[in-house]
Amino acid sequence: MTSSVPAPLRDAYDPEAFRATAHALMDQLADYLKAALAGGAMPVLPWAPPAVNHERFATSFPEEPARSDAFAALMARVLEGSHHLHHPRYVGHQVTAPVPLAALCDAVSSLLNNGMAVYEMGPVATAMEHQVLAWMASKLGLPASARGVLTSGGSAGNLTALLAARQAKAGYDAWNGGAHAGPPLTVLVPRSAHYCLARAVRIMGWGEGGLTPVDVDAHFRVRPDALEEALANATRAGRKAIAVVASAGSTATGAFDPLEPVADFAQRHGLWFHVDGAHGAAASLSPKYRAQVRGIERADSVVWDAHKGLLMPALVTAVLFRDGARSFDAFSQEAHYLFHGDGDDARPYSDVGLRTLECTKEMMPLKVYACLSVLGTRVFEDAITASYDQARRFADHLTAAPDFELAVAPDCNIVCFRHTPAHVPPDGWDALQVRLREALVTSGNFYLVQTRLPGGVYLRTTLIHPLTGDADLEALMEAIRSAARP
């Protein structure tokens, strides 16, 4: 045998070239971070229409290696043109300004590329995943027998939980038998829940009726007294209800459903109780706000996005099962013969691929484990408490202002409101909010989003950046007033 590796391919792995490029990049990133955190002249979102960015990054990739300064130049363009979540005036979607240490962990994870499907392919990561999940479960008050997995986002996480619920509660082998082996199934879901639950039931072949909506109150929290009616509706529609979902909290307004009465209802009817805590399970970290998730310890399954409430970059979602054995239910039915086909007949329980939608996945637990170990847990508790406190102060401030209207008192760090200046009649308020948001976002001064509630269109803010100050929110109100002036 003879072999020869082409020089450019060998060069792509050169450790000293890597070292030099890495150091230069880290200075770029540190400078970028400093500028973004300072805010100042940097826009939050350097707004440009899709066509403009498509044009800017249009390329026919070169065949040969580029000049040595090409990487730094490209990264400079990426840093300049991207959305600056570390700008303190980012108050938009529930995506964090991650702690920078986590980004470094992702470089380690990506270099090591330990895929984790089987223990051998990620021995350290597998051990860390166990530790991270145990810590999260203990914070929620789940029993020591709780187990789970980390997966690629809340949508995959909620699907995973519902697959386990299906297997546990369908009353037939839904995994191998398929939908036609039994009656159509459904799950009771508050009308304010995230859209991924409606997707999950459609993916599973339950169709539109696979989700039975449950009415919510004026605070957008599920009405416990509406659960029986929803169950009756499901039955009337020829559906077997297998699970009930509660949000902690909801996406649009951050409302936390009352978990204890939902747990009681689930228990009474033998239903699986799933809590979508993607955003709000992190409330369990805060001594002050832990009561928001009272009852979560009774859930059969919980989804918790570390990239929302734990200051991590996307994606790292925990799916926790109170009964550890259930953590195999979503996917493992086939494992006994399918994994068998690959010749590994006796895989230990520590092979996380048996329990996740992914086969190969990233070393997701590394950043969580390292940041908890190095920064300490109090930082994460404080981040929750501080952001929830700030949302309440902001809400008070909005309520006190005659030209602003709070949609609803905030349960967490999401605050929805609208500007209602005297010079605009009420039938012009919806159009005004849309126009205001567009003006603020395209100018780059702030990033916030909007949502349609029964009362109309509202501006929507998530106070998710720990360094967003009250002064930023006062400036936001002033900027809104200014943009609204005729």
For residue 443, state whether it binds a copy of itself (rule: CB under 8 A). Answer: no
Site string for a copy of itself, 307-336 (x = CB under 8 A): x---x-xxx---------------x-xx--
Contacts of 122-129 with C-beta under 8 Å, sequence gap 24+, read 122/352, 122/363, 124/366, 125/363, 125/364, 125/365, 125/366, 126/350, 126/352, 128/363, 128/365, 128/366, 128/368, 128/369, 129/352, 129/364, 129/365
Q: Check: CB of residue 199 under 8 Å from CB of residue 155.
A: yes
Provide the minimum distance between the beta carbon of 193 and a copy of itself in the complex, in angstroms, as a whole number: 10
Structure tokens at 238: 């020829």
For residue 124, state whether it binds a copy of itself (rule: CB under 8 A). Answer: yes
Instruction: Write the burial class of residue 178 (CB in 10 Å: 0-12 exposed, 13-18 middle, 19+ buried).
Output: exposed
What part of residues 22-51 is at the interface with a copy of itself (CB under 8 A)?
22-23, 25-27, 29-34, 37, 45-48, 50
Give dist(CA 315, CA 323) in Å, integer: 25
For residue 444, state whether it binds a copy of itself (rule: CB under 8 A). Answer: no
Q: Check: CB of residue 151 under 8 Å from CB of residue 356.
A: yes
Structure tokens at 54: 């498509």
For residue 187, state whether it binds a copy of itself (rule: CB under 8 A). Answer: no
Provide the minimum distance between the beta carbon of 79 and a copy of itself in the complex, in angstroms, as a whole number: 7
CA distances from 7 to 16, 75, 443 (A): 15, 25, 47
What part of residues 403-432 is at the interface with a copy of itself (CB under 8 A)?
none
Among 91, 121, 293, 484, binds a copy of itself (CB under 8 A): 121
Q: Check: CB of residue 271 under 8 Å from CB of residue 243.
A: yes
What part of residues 259-298 is at the interface with a copy of itself (CB under 8 A)?
none
For residue 255, state whether it binds a copy of itself (rule: CB under 8 A). Answer: no
For residue 397, state whether it binds a copy of itself (rule: CB under 8 A). Answer: yes
Q: Which amino acid is at 231?
A: L
Provide the minimum distance between the beta carbon of 259 and a copy of itself in the complex, in angstroms, as a whole number: 23
Question: Given the complex with a copy of itself, which of 106 and 300 has the nearer CB atom?
Answer: 106
Provide the minimum distance between the beta carbon of 92 and a copy of itself in the complex, in angstroms, as a whole number: 8
Give dist(CA 303, CA 357) in Å, integer: 14
Question: Given the complex with a copy of itself, which of 166 and 298 has the nearer CB atom?
Answer: 166
For residue 125, state whether it binds a copy of itself (rule: CB under 8 A). Answer: yes
For residue 3, state whether it binds a copy of itself (rule: CB under 8 A). Answer: yes
Among 142, 163, 296, 306, binds a copy of itself (CB under 8 A): 163
Give dist(CA 127, CA 373) in Å, integer: 14
For residue 236, state whether it binds a copy of itself (rule: CB under 8 A). Answer: no
Give dist(CA 334, CA 258) in Å, integer: 36
Provide the minimum distance between the beta carbon of 361 and a copy of itself in the complex, in angstroms, as a whole number: 6
